[in-house]
Amino acid sequence: MATLDDYKGQTPAWCPGCGNFSILRTFKEALVELGLEPHQFTIVSGIGQAAKFPHYLKCNTFNGLHGRSLPVATGLRLANHEMLVFAVAGDGDCYGEGGNHLMHAMRKNVNVKLFVHDNQVYGLTKGQASPTTHEGTVTKNMPFGVFSEQLNPMALAVALDCSFVARSFSGDPEHLRSIVREAVAHKGFCLVDILQPCVSFNKLNTHEWYRQRVYHIEPEYDPADRVKAFERSLEWGDRIPIGVIYRNSRLSLEERIPMIHERPLVKQSHDIAKLCDILKEFY
């Protein structure tokens, strides 16, 4: 059985007090609880503070380009659907640069578990607005304040019938741990939006700000009801729900592909003999 020590990666280069630390610790704890070993899963990430996550943990890692973690994760899952695949992204990475990929990963329903560290700001490039930044927020390059409407990832995901839609908070490790476990158990694409304070650049959405607003979705709530889920996903402001907002049991992309029902692509051998007749159709 793996212990926390087995997951020790490089020393994080995040700012002291950053919400990412708690996410990292909690994620490792969840992996230990799940009995997973470092070689049994892969984390795919893009670029940003959040995207450095897999280096700070020990596991198979493909740390690719800004916004592109989901297509890489999709290709990896299709090549080897026995591999558990996580994608870790920032809100800029995933809702901004990679927005198109997110939309289509949800439609395809590839069985990848996406964790978005949503600090509502671009951290690594020093504090520009992200798609989830509140309208009106003034930044260095937006002296008149953000003009665009704040993106609502939960509502977007419900609208696209995403298979698993959840929100958690870096300041509530127990909650986050349970969401990680639920996401791993879920068969289909999972979007987990994690509220994460950025102590260096986001002076509005601080730890305190979240703590006053975040509440646990009540146990009686039925995440299978899409209309209710849509209602819940619109809550933001004085009260912000965390928990599983929506869940369905659509077939995953991998389940729909007949060629890999028996074994994953990576375990299929290349049989040249089988190709003998392939040129026949050209006669």
Ligand X SMILES: Cc1ncc(C[n+]2csc(CCOP(=O)(O)OP(=O)(O)O)c2C)c(N)n1
Q: Which two tokens stand for residue 70?
A: 């989901």
Give the whole-angstrom CA distance, residue 204 versus residue 202: 6
How distant is the alpha carbon of residue 197 from its chain centre?
17
Q: Which residue has the tokens 């890999």?
A: 260
Which partner from the list ligand SF4, other proteins, ligand X, none does 194 bind, CB cut-off 5 to 8 Å by kind?
A: none
Please report, to the nearest 10 degrees, the dihedral formed by the alpha carbons of residues 47, 51, 54, 56 taken in order: 110
User: Pick from 21, 25, 75, 159: which binds other proteins (CB under 8 A)?
Assistant: 75
Q: How far is the CB of 38 from ligand SF4 (least distance, A)?
A: 24
Counting contacts by CB under 6 A, is residue 142 touching ligand X?
no
For residue 242, give Cα distances in angstroms to 64, 90, 259: 29, 18, 38
Contact 115, 192 (CB under 8 A): yes
DSSP for 244-275, written as a single string: EEEE--PPPHHHH-GGGSSS-GGGPPP-GGGG
**Residue 180 near which of other proteins, ligand X, ligand SF4, none (CB within 5-8 Å, type-dependent):** none
241, interface contact from ligand SF4, ligand X, other proteins, none, CB < 5-8 Å by kind: none
Which of ligand SF4, ligand X, other proteins, none does 232 bind, CB closer than 5 to 8 A by kind? none
Residue 221 binds which of other proteins, ligand X, ligand SF4, none (CB < 5-8 A, kind-dependent) = none
- The site for other proteins (CB under 8 A) is made up of 10, 37-40, 42, 44, 47, 52, 54-55, 58-65, 68, 70-80, 82-83, 100-101, 103-104, 257-260, 265-266, 268, 270, 272, 274-276, 278-279, 282-283
Instruction: List interacting residues with ligand X (CB under 6 A).
Output: 47-50, 66, 90-93, 117, 119, 121-125, 130
